[in-house]
């Protein structure tokens, strides 16, 4: 890389939430994320799993912004959806093959945000 140029390392969404503890519990239970220590003191939650990081801050006035984000995975997407449903997660739909080559489903997190989860068709 020529001198003076930069390369991006990673990006992480910063999402607003009504309650950091409830958000932490939801992502740990349903998707296996773990929190970085110290989040209570900072009132800023960083969750990590398999190198994927999600950042959360308390929304202004106790509100969470809506929106949607995507998690791409490998492995048993149907089994994950079944476990999440059994654990009481609010699934919007079940895994379904998409014409653009992905198998996906949508679940609502603790704030009602759409989390779209998918994997490439034919992938492991």
Residue bearing tokens 């945000």: 113
pTM, full prediction: 0.87
Distance CA 29, CA 42 (A): 22
Residue of higher predicted confidence among 3 and 93:
93
51-83 per-position pLDDT tens digit = 999 999 988 776 677 778 999 999 999 999 999
Find the CATH number of the domain harbouring 89: 3.10.180.10
Domain assignment present for 7: no
Domain assignment present for 43: yes
Domain assignment present for 90: yes
Q: Is 33 helix (H, G, I), strand (E, B) or coil?
A: coil
pLDDT of residue 72: 94
Domain assignment present for 60: yes
Domain assignment present for 5: no
């Amino acid at each position: 890389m020529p001198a003076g140029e930069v390369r991006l390392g990673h990006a992480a969404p910063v999402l607003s939430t009504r309650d950091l503890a409830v958000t932490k519990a939801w992502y740990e239970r349903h998707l296996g994320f773990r929190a970085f220590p110290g989040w209570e003191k900072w009132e800023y939650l960083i969750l990590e799993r398999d190198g994927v990081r999600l950042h959360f801050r308390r929304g202004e006035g106790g509100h969470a912004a809506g929106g949607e984000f995507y998690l791409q995975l490998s492995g048993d997407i149907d089994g994950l959806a079944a476990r999440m449903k059994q654990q009481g997660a609010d699934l919007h739909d079940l895994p379904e093959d998409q014409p653009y080559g992905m198998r996906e489903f949508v679940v609502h997190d603790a704030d009602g945000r759409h989390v779209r989860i998918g994997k490439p068709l034919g992938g492991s």
